[in-house]
Amino acid sequence: MLQLVFIETFYRMKKWFQRILFYVVAPGFLSCNQGNTEDYQLVIVNASLLNVKTGVIEKNKSVFIKNGLINKISKTRNSDYSLKNVINAKERLLTPSFIDVHNHLNFIFGDTTEITNPEDFQISRGLLTEEYMPYGVTVVRSAAGRESHIPMERSWMKHHPDYIDYYPSGGALVSLNTQFYNHVYVRDSLEVKSKIEEYSKSGIKHIKVYSLIGEAELNTAIRTAENLDMNIFGHIENAMVSIETACELGLRNFEHVKTLFLDVVKKYETTSMDLSGLPPDDDENWRFREYEVFNFIGTNDPSIMALIMLLKKSKASVTPTLHLYAQPIGLTHPATKIEIHPDDKLNWQGEKLNRAKMGYEVLAALVLKLYKNGIILNTGSDTYEPGKTILSEMLLLNKLGIPMNEVLKIASLNSARSINLEKSYGSIEVGKKAHLILFEESPLNNPLNLLSKKTIIKDGIVWRPL
């Protein structure tokens, strides 16, 4: 655990520095007046509140918070200003916080690190939180991880205002022994059932399936998850099971818009269609091949259209993960300041880079088509620096033509709905958790303000680095 000891030392030093900064900068921010009868944990007054359900900005609102929950919302009265624990929003934009529906812990702790010593659980939780909270992401759902991390993930399930709310999913179920650390091999339907029951008993409420699962096993997974009231989602691209089959069996939450193209091209492999123009599907070429598949299929292909209609009819959700395809070819906004990981440095140039950029435009056009057809989109990172990535993803969604108030809804309410947690998160409503963002500058005026200074409120407490 030498690696973690080193990380911890760095982390502690950083925290002390941030703490000193906070005490120097923060006084005066919270005005704590005295002599009032009503006791709220926090009251935000004169806020321009984004109602994500209507897309409307409700001006001059007060949000009253008690026990971490939104207790009351009303028009701001003069007397509100003299309550205890007041933040005067001064007409700034108040939105629900953001959600990442697609995290993998290996992007934070490394592909080989296994954290099994309970003494390290809290340090790791702090590190994970630092990756998200400064960017306004307060809720994170795992999209599969190592089984050896389940004890740690379970310890994080007891929520705490200082840390992000984390929802584990165990390993991704596969019925082919891939030996990949984020996969769990389940031989047959019996094993599928007992694995999901085991997860359920340990408190896990989210089940991930990967395309390398057989149809019978997938059917069992969906039925078992339904019976245990668990949320099931999958990365399906016709490796062993197609999106059409998965949808017909009852899967409703799909990862990566790119899978629609890959699903269709795999279907064409079994027909007489000439696919010889595509790069080979091998270790060296698979990444470039994906962009070329987007170019090859396009957004008007009848099979793609049929999938869109099926997803629409099924009220399915899809996670775009556009950033994953934009970043390696230089299409993300530099202001997001996300370092490109060595694995994503593709160094493509000239015609190859142009072809990839064309491919990205096709992928983005399909995301817009899904949006226009009313398919629920949500935000998932699936990479390094996940908090920053969520903001980058939101900028990319806006860039392709989705209005910013809708993008804010995608990152909050839609994402909460997709992970079956709409009761607690996703909008500023009485009874929901007080997970809020107060923007210094409104992203509705300029999308880049998404990156501007923001006050993050989690469980009714202004979050600051520990």
Q: Which residues bind Zn ion (CB under 5 A)?
A: 143, 382
CB closer to Zn ion, 8 vs 255 = 255
Minimum separation from the CB atom of position 208 to Zn ion (A): 9
Minimum separation from the CB atom of position 321 to Zn ion (A): 8
Bin 197: left if φ > 0, else alpha if -120 < ψ < 50, else beta.
alpha
DSSP letter for 178, please.
Answer: -
CB closer to Zn ion, 143 vs 222 = 143
Report the run of H or E that residue 86 belongs to, with start and end. strand 86-88
**Which amino acid is residue 421, in one-letter code?**
L
DSSP 196-265: HHHHHHTT--EEEEESSS-HHHHHHHHHHHHHTT-EEEEE-SSSSS-HHHHHHHT--EEE-THHHHHHHH
Q: What is the per-residue burial (b if ≥16 Cβ within 10 Å, else e) of 53-85?
A: eeeebeeebbbbbbebbbbebeebeeebeebbb
CB closer to Zn ion, 50 vs 143 = 143
Minimum separation from the CB atom of position 390 to Zn ion (A): 14
Residue 47 CB neighbours (<10 A): 27
Minimum separation from the CB atom of position 382 to Zn ion (A): 4
Q: Tell me if residue 100 falls in helix, strand or coil.
A: strand
CB closer to Zn ion, 292 vs 382 = 382
CB closer to Zn ion, 290 vs 382 = 382
Minimum separation from the CB atom of position 455 to Zn ion (A): 31
Minimum separation from the CB atom of position 290 to Zn ion (A): 14
Q: Tell me if residue 288 falls in helix, strand or coil.
A: helix
Minimum separation from the CB atom of position 172 to Zn ion (A): 8
Cα separation, 216 vs 268, whole angstroms: 23
Minimum separation from the CB atom of position 381 to Zn ion (A): 9
CB closer to Zn ion, 326 vs 444 = 326
CB closer to Zn ion, 258 vs 409 = 258
**Residue nearest Zn ion by beta-carbon distance:** 382
Cα separation, 421 vs 252, whole angstroms: 15
Contact, 166 vs 153, CB < 8 A? yes
Residues forming a β-bridge with 87: 44
Strands of the 165-167 sheet, one edge to the other? 98-103, 137-142, 165-167
Burial class (CB in 10 A: 0-12, 13-18, 19+), 210: buried
Cα separation, 383 vs 264, whole angstroms: 25
Minimum separation from the CB atom of position 100 to Zn ion (A): 11
| Nearest partner of 327 among 262, 384, 401, judged by Cα | 384
CB closer to Zn ion, 22 vs 180 = 180
Sign of the alpha-carbon torsion through 361, 363, 369, 370: negative
Minimum separation from the CB atom of position 239 to Zn ion (A): 14
Tokens standing for 353? 């880079």
CB closer to Zn ion, 323 vs 355 = 323
CB closer to Zn ion, 131 vs 382 = 382
CB closer to Zn ion, 96 vs 234 = 234
Contact, 202 vs 165, CB < 8 A? no
Cα separation, 44 vs 460, whole angstroms: 10
Minimum separation from the CB atom of position 44 to Zn ion (A): 35
Q: Tell me if residue 22 falls in helix, strand or coil.
A: helix
Cα separation, 325 vs 331, whole angstroms: 8
DSSP 406-426: HHHHIIIIIHHHHTT-TTTSS
Sign of the alpha-carbon torsion through 30, 34, 36, 37: positive
Minimum separation from the CB atom of position 28 to Zn ion (A): 43
CB closer to Zn ion, 199 vs 210 = 210
